[in-house]
Amino acid sequence: MSALLSGLLLTKRDKRCADYVLSAFLAISAITLALAYMEIFNREHSYIFPLFLNLSTPFVLLLGPSLWLYVKCLTTNSFKIKPIHLLLLIPFVVVFLIFLNNDYLNPEATRVAMDSKEAFRNSIIFPLVMLLIATSNIGYTLWGLQMIKRYRERVKSFYSGSDRHELKWLRFLLIISFIAYSMISALYIVDSALNLMPFKTLQVLGFSIASTFIIVIGFFGLKQGDLFASVPVPDEVITVKEKIESNGVSKGDEKFVAELLEFMREKRPFLNPELNLESLSSSLKVTQDYLSGVINGSLNMNFYDFVNHYRVEEFKSLCKDPVKRKLTIIALAFDSGFNSKATFNRVFKKSTGLTPSEYFGKVSVN
């Protein structure tokens, strides 16, 4: 399945960095899982293919870095892989050379005997490699979550309806993978000290969890569109002070603020669910940085909160209209410019302290 998903990604039109990296991740996963399966198959069928013993272990150290690169591609505009990223291969190369010297070059009979008796558990190499794998998997997962957190903060300065851009599915998968990696890693480490269960059982458990995770991330990755197709999200967060100073925006710029607020009231651009910083700045004939600086500096909110404030007020107004009240709450939300039920519920609750249903039930009809 991993190999199939890897191939399908390469058939997409307008492939991006993320597609190529995810395809590589799935290909590596397919190789790792295939080698792990062959190890399990060997142990259950009297080692008929001893060549494949312990080959999967080094490849596990490629999963964390390749997943990290995938997150990096999704959260960084125009990201490109550079020669320095080859440093991510160092743990894989080191462990592969260790296994080459201590296992792969041994006679087949010796390798089979070591594996059948689980003699490798008595070596200092085993717990060290398990610790390195645990550190790699958990570390890169946490790093990925941190990148997504920073990215989501940047997105709210450029998009008014950012659900499509927030990568909730990837954040959820990384959280699940962090929990799974932590549990498996803890089990491996504890087992290396106490020998709780056969190594085969540990490997089958890890194999099952990894297979499920890889299939799910491959499926969602195949559906993921270009997050940077309309408005490029800057790679670094620029502080409000830097925006104001670099663009000549003053907190006392009442004239433009008045024009902005009048434009929002008269033209009602917030009714467009795809409204973004680029389109609004173009309508106002100012730069994106200038508009962002004014909203952040003078109005003390990001673009996302600024636009959704008007949508919440529009929803409140519609709730008081006897004709509009005949519609469902979600229909009123969509008429107000929201394009997601989840975003609407979250924004409205944050703004009013009430759920949309509670507000709808309390409001008086004009």
CATH number at residue 309: 1.10.10.60
Residues 56 and 26 in one domain: yes
More confident residue, 280 or 213: 280
Range name among 56-60, 87-91, 211-215, 357-361 with the lowest pLDDT average: 211-215
Q: What is the pLDDT of residue 73?
A: 84
171-186 mean pLDDT: 80
Claim to verify: residue 244 and residue 210 sit in the same structural domain: no
Q: Are 81 and 209 members of one domain?
A: yes
Q: Are residues 174 and 276 in the same domain?
A: no
pLDDT value for 220:
63
Confidence bin at 174 (pLDDT 50/70/90): confident
Kindly state whether residue 231 falls inside one of the protein's structural domains: no
Question: What is the distance between the alpha carbons of residues 67 and 71, in angstroms, rounded to a whole number?
Answer: 6
How high is the pLDDT of residue 236?
A: 43
Structure tokens at 274: 């795809």
pTM beyond 0.85, yes or no: no
75 lies in the same domain as 167: yes
Q: Do 255 and 206 share a structural domain?
A: no
Is the pLDDT at 5 greater than 60? The verdict is: no
pLDDT of residue 219: 64
Q: Answer with the residue of higher pLDDT: 202 or 170.
A: 170
Q: Tell me if 168 is assigned to some domain.
A: yes
Tell me what the mean pLDDT of segment 31-43 comes to.
Answer: 84
Looking at the structure, do residues 143 and 269 belong to the same domain, yes or no? no
Would you state the pLDDT for residue 233? 46
Any residues with CB less than 8 A from the CB of 17 and at least 6 apart, and which?
A: 73, 79, 80, 81
Same domain, 85 and 111: yes
Residue 232 lies in a domain: no
pLDDT at position 64, please? 87
Statement to judge: residues 201 and 285 lie in one domain? no
Return the minimum-mean-pLDDT range out of 28-37, 106-115, 213-222: 213-222
Phi, psi of 123 (to 5 degrees): -90, 150
In the block, tokens 């920073």 appear at: 150
CA separation for the pair 310, 332 (Å, rounded): 14
In a domain, 230, yes or no: no
pLDDT higher than 70, residue 60: yes
pLDDT for the residue 229? 40
> 143-152, 265-274, 337-346: which has the minimum mean pLDDT?
143-152
Say whether both 6 and 149 belong to one domain. yes
Residue that is last in its domain, among 190, 223, 256: 223
Q: How many domains does the chain have?
A: 2
The residue out of 197, 223, 249 marking a domain boundary is: 223
Which residues constitute the domain of residue 260?
240-362
250 inside domain:
yes
Same domain flag for 106 and 47: yes
Please report whether residue 234 resides in a domain. no
Of 223, 254, 285, which marks where a domain is finished? 223
Question: Is 241's pLDDT higher than 80?
Answer: no
Least confident of 92-96, 149-153, 226-230, 253-257: 226-230
pLDDT given for residue 243 in this prediction: 40
CA dihedral 232, 244, 258, 285 (to 10 degrees): -40
For the segment 227-242, the average pLDDT, to the nearest whole number, is 41
Question: Is 327 inside any structural domain?
Answer: yes
Q: In the structure, what pLDDT confidence band is assigned to residue 192 with cuts at 50, 70 and 90? A: low
Which residues 6+ apart lie within 8 Å of 336 measured at CB?
270, 271, 311, 312, 314, 315, 318, 344
276 bridge partner residues: 159
User: Cα–Cα distance between 357 and 312 in angstroms, integer?
Assistant: 13
User: Average pLDDT for residues 184-199, to the nearest whole number?
Assistant: 71
Instruction: Give a yes or no: residue 233 inside a domain.
Output: no
Judge if 65 and 157 occupy the same domain.
yes
